[in-house]
Chain A
Amino acid sequence: MARAHGDHRGRPLVAITGIGVVTCLGHGVRDNWSKLTSGQSGIRPITRFSTEGLKTTIAGTVDGLCDAPYSAADLSAAMAEAAAHEAIAQAAIGESGAFPGRLIVATPPSELEWPHLRALYAAGSGEPEGGYARLLSAARSGTFGDMARHVRFASIAGRLQERFGTRGAPLSVCTACASGATTIQLGAEAIRRGDVGAALCIGTDATVHPEGLIRFSLLSALSTRNHPAECASKPFSKDRDGFVMAEGAGALVLEDYDRARARGVRVLGIVRGCGEKADHYHRTRSEPSGAAIIGAIRKTLDDAGLAPEDIDYINAHGTSTPENDKMEYVSLRSVLGERVSEVPISSNKSMIGHTLIAAGAVEAVFSVMTMQTGTLPPTINYDTPDPELPLDVVANVRRDATVTTMLSNSFGFGGQNVCLALSTEPI
């Protein structure tokens, strides 16, 4: 049967039919969107653990969602469930607990945290050797089997698969801070191949714990402007000094556009194209010319069948680190030319911080809302524009604009660069 709607290469169009989100601003799309568009920040002093002696004492934590004692794996799973539940409900797809497609999820590092190590250390006190031999002896006792889920990358995907009844083997993916966007790319590719009719794409990250904070601190990546907390994340400002760690989850239901139309569901947006390019310059920095980022943007436009002048708006990666924001500007200028200072751009991270593994998915959800509502969320704390980055930053207050086609950028350590081109439903 001939396809009713194909893209410029005759591939199936990929529709977004459901979105869900959890961030430090709140739970659910409606709550988040109203706070995000009114310029509210979710960044605050960390209360989860003592920050005494740490250079950075603020973050965008997600509180009140998970009853269990904090652990990155459990909170990440709970947030992913909440976001996915919201997205599936909106898409009204499949029977309850039987999502008719694949699960693709990006999850944070899978590791034992200090409370786990401490419990094992205490239980292994009979072991004369100490050190890891002592921890292994405790593990051998068999009483800590429940702890294994913290060191199994597949455990969050497994839990989500069982909860939502997704089909086939779930994919767990990591492209560092581009991971959320990669889940969408993988979903779109699978739909274009015809492997699946739908995909549940989720990014989730809840790693605000002492070691998580210290690790980024050692890489000099975090803002140390702790007071007032809500003013620390200032993407594209001259006095930006690093990102603010944050937690969150974003979920999107992707669907073959024809199928979505056939079942009469509202189409929220289209994944027009995806592109990625890896950098070989440095583990944590981009090649100074921006070649890899430029490559990712150009591949995205090419995949989407778009020209640079088709882009109405940009949801920036905009982490608020000196390095990222400069490289993002340099790369956008290279692709958009003079128009770079005319295309409005926002960084959601000014309000929700950097949700790391989840960022690409969370920001794709907000990108969909931007197109749906014609409201560009602001970049707050933009009081001292960086003269080196002449961009049309949506400064401090939201702006109304019709957006039909936009770009969402995601970049990560390890030379990961992923971009998405999103658009409104074709008429």
Chain B
Amino acid sequence: MRGNDHENEVWITGVGLVSSLGEGVEAHARILSGEQPCAACVDETTFAPYPVHPLVPLTLSKQIPKNSDQRQMEGWQRLGVYAAGLALEDAQIKGCADLLDRMDLIVAAGSGERDTAVDCKVLEMSGASDSAPLRASEILPSALRPTLFLAQLSNLLAGNISIVHHVTGSSRTFMGEEMAGLSAIDNAFQRIAAGQSEMCLVGGAVNAEREDLLLAYELGHNLWRHSFERIEQRAQRGGGFVPGSVGAFLVLEQRRHAERRSARAYARVTAVGTDRMRRTNVEANPFACVSNLIDETVAGSTGAVFSGASGVAPVTAAEFAFLDELKRRAQIEYVWPYGNILGHAVEAHFPAGIALAALAQHSGRVSRTLLGECPGRFSSVDRIIVTGVGHERGEGVAVIDGIPTRGANGI
């Protein structure tokens, strides 16, 4: 973890968010402020028994103008490239060749997408016999397209962002399910805070509406298999996450750089801490590793927690128990598991939580209806702590503060 000096403060100057609830800053800000009532958008039938949060329909050509580019990608890549474009546009960097040439790209990615139809065809032809490898040799060369392989490569979301949006300063892709998102945000924050980068486009994308993704997580028994319930309610029936299609990208920028180009900032990232504890004792505090950071940052403030809890048991209950204790000690005011409205976006979940926190900081208030408390009233926002607890591995927090008014800083 690292605090940062004044000049190298890490500011959030662009947000690109696409989810089941809508696209862009305004759609999500209206929900946060309560201007638009929020009902989670869940599809319980297409992949039954697994509910998923389906992506809002997008006009892809708005961010990916060339059809040839769209054809070279699969769903998760199109979603990510779209969200990245929104973030660049929001930060007023889109099309600025000199800035894009210097901008660092950091992506949190998973395994990409398989062609499930090809998989099924091979399995049906070979049955359960040992001839599958042979069938694979016979069928795959004709069934696979080169572009499909490129859809499976983790770093090809970053590659497509470079191609479509020309972000080319550098390009790194982190993996590891939720740890991918934690690592990406942590890497962007640390580099900017240490003066190793001036601005980063950082985020990820998950297409939840995929049988291969569901299979991967059902193998670990990590999915919620019943009608939709809020994350807090799932423990009694074994827990599980409801995947959500989300594209979430942020422009994180060194304060000095942002001020020089007179960029509008939503909020600043004051601290980031990540770890991966051994969960042999699952009842243990999932933030043991970063609790110093939590203690430091919540002390004396009226903080809110945007929890990235997935709903997977028992770690979600352990996180809530820890956060409840902070509430009892009046160190935080409320806890909001934002996966209740977005679904669980695995690699993109932590970046998405930070995006929501940035929007909340910018408006300075969050609807209490959304928080499940006192309908109709607003809660003022001081400091927001975004948590990320992986369904199996990885824990982290980011502290999101408001931008001090310029007068107060004498700027």
A122 within 8 A of B: yes
Q: Report Cα–Cα, A278/B155, bound state, in Å.
A: 12
Q: Is the CB of B216 within 8 A of A142?
A: no
Residues in A whose Cβ lies below 8 Å from that of B176: 152-154, 157, 170-172
- Among listed B177-185, B228-236, B258-266, B303-311, interface-contacting one: B177-185
Contact with A along B378-399 (1 / 0, CB 8 A): 0000000000001011111000
- Among listed B24-32, B105-113, B326-334, B361-369, interface-contacting one: B105-113
Among A121, A189, A195, A276, max chain B CB count under 10 A is at A121
- Among listed B54-62, B80-88, B124-132, interface-contacting one: B124-132
A30 within 8 A of B: no
A118 within 8 A of B: yes
Contact with B along A115-128 (1 / 0, CB 8 A): 10110111001000
Q: Is the CB of A219 within 8 A of B170?
A: no
Residue in contact with B171 in the complex, picked from A130, A154, A190, A416, CB distance below 8 Å: A416
Q: Which residues 132-184 of B sit at the A interface, judged by CB distance below 8 A?
A: 132-134, 136-138, 140-141, 144-146, 149-150, 152-156, 158-160, 162-163, 166-177, 179-180, 182-183
Q: Is the CB of A168 within 8 A of B275?
A: yes
Given A153-B180, A154-B390, A210-B137: A175 and B172 within 8 A (CB)?
yes
Taking the nearest CB of chain A, how far is it from the CB of B271, in angstroms? 13
Q: Which residue of A lies closest to B49 (CB)?
A: A140
Q: Report Cα–Cα, A53/B135, bound state, in Å.
A: 10
Q: Which residues 180-217 of B sit at the A interface, judged by CB distance below 8 A?
A: 180, 182-183, 186-187, 190-191, 194, 196, 211-212, 214-216
- Among listed B114-122, B245-253, B293-301, B336-344, interface-contacting one: B114-122
A214 within 8 A of B: yes
Residue in contact with A136 in the complex, picked from B122, B137, B215, CB distance below 8 Å: B215
A111 within 8 A of B: yes
Q: Is the CB of B163 within 8 A of A54?
A: no
Q: Is the CB of B109 within 8 A of A174?
A: yes
Q: Report Cα–Cα, A39/B343, bound state, in Å.
A: 55
Residue in contact with B392 in the complex, picked from A121, A154, A173, CB distance below 8 Å: A154
Residue in contact with B156 in the complex, picked from A135, A215, A413, CB distance below 8 Å: A413
Q: Report Cα–Cα, A189/B186, bound state, in Å.
A: 13
Q: Is the CB of B159 within 8 A of A415?
A: yes
Residues in B whose Cβ lies below 8 Å from that of A50: 133-134, 137
By the criterion of a CB under 8 Å from any partner CB, how many residues of chain B are at the interface? Answer: 82
Residues in B whose Cβ lies below 8 Å from that of A279: 162, 168
- Among listed A143-151, A198-206, A234-242, interface-contacting one: A143-151
Q: Is the CB of B172 within 8 A of A173?
A: yes
Among A120, A154, A281, max chain B CB count under 10 A is at A154
Q: Is the CB of B393 within 8 A of A189?
A: no
Q: Is the CB of B278 within 8 A of A162?
A: yes
Q: Is the CB of A152 within 8 A of B177?
A: yes
Residues in B whose Cβ lies below 8 Å from that of A122: 128
Contact with B along A408-420 (1 / 0, CB 8 A): 0000111110000
Q: Is the CB of A218 within 8 A of B149?
A: yes
Q: Which residue of B lies closest to A214 (CB)?
A: B140
Among A145, A176, A217, max chain B CB count under 10 A is at A176
B274 within 8 A of A: yes
Among A148, A195, A283, max chain B CB count under 10 A is at A283
Residues in A whose Cβ lies below 8 Å from that of B105: 278
Q: Is the CB of A114 within 8 A of B137?
A: no
Q: Is the CB of B136 within 8 A of A214?
A: yes
Taking the nearest CB of chain B, how far is it from the CB of A112, in angstroms? 8
Contact with B along A252-293 (1 / 0, CB 8 A): 000000000000000000000000111111111000000010
Residues in A whose Cβ lies below 8 Å from that of B36: none
Q: Is the CB of A278 within 8 A of B196?
A: no
A387 within 8 A of B: no
Residues in B whose Cβ lies below 8 Å from that of A276: 170-172
Q: Report Cα–Cα, A283/B152, bound state, in Å.
A: 13
Q: Is the CB of A107 within 8 A of B175?
A: yes
Q: Report Cα–Cα, A189/B191, bound state, in Å.
A: 8
B257 within 8 A of A: no
Q: Is the CB of A218 within 8 A of B120?
A: no
Q: Report Cα–Cα, A171/B173, bound state, in Å.
A: 10
Q: Report Cα–Cα, A211/B219, bound state, in Å.
A: 21
Q: Report Cα–Cα, A276/B116, bound state, in Å.
A: 35
Residues in B whose Cβ lies below 8 Å from that of A219: 146, 149
Q: Is the CB of B394 within 8 A of A169?
A: yes
B220 within 8 A of A: yes
Taking the nearest CB of chain A, how far is it from the CB of B215, in angstroms? 5
Q: Is the CB of A414 within 8 A of B153?
A: yes
Q: Report Cα–Cα, A152/B221, bound state, in Å.
A: 13
Residues in B whose Cβ lies below 8 Å from that of A154: 175-177, 179, 276, 390, 392-394
Residue in contact with A147 in the complex, picked from B137, B163, B219, CB distance below 8 Å: B219
Q: Is the CB of B179 within 8 A of A218?
A: no
Q: Is the CB of A161 within 8 A of B276?
A: yes
Residues in B whose Cβ lies below 8 Å from that of A399: none
Residues in B whose Cβ lies below 8 Å from that of A161: 276
Residues in A whose Cβ lies below 8 Å from that of B177: 152-154
A139 within 8 A of B: yes
Given A145-B221, A154-B394, A195-B2: A414 and B171 within 8 A (CB)?
yes
Residues in B whose Cβ lies below 8 Å from that of A169: 179, 182-183, 186, 274-276, 394-396
A182 within 8 A of B: yes
Q: Report Cα–Cα, A280/B211, bound state, in Å.
A: 31
Q: Is the CB of B155 within 8 A of A416?
A: yes
B403 within 8 A of A: no
Taking the nearest CB of chain B, how far is it from the CB of A114, in angstroms? 5
User: Can you offer 11 A-B residue contacts whose CB atoms are under 8 A?
Assistant: A109-B111, A153-B110, A172-B180, A174-B154, A174-B174, A193-B194, A195-B2, A215-B149, A283-B160, A413-B150, A414-B171
Where the two chains meet, the residues of A that have a C-beta atom closer than 8 Å to any C-beta of B are: 49-54, 107, 109-112, 114-115, 117-118, 120-122, 125, 130-133, 135-136, 139-140, 142, 144-145, 147-148, 151-154, 157-158, 161-162, 168-176, 182, 186, 189-190, 192-193, 195, 210-211, 214-219, 276-284, 292, 412-416
Give me the 10 closest cross-chain CB pairs, A-B, nearest first: A414-B159, A122-B128, A154-B176, A153-B175, A132-B211, A148-B220, A151-B216, A278-B171, A139-B218, A215-B149
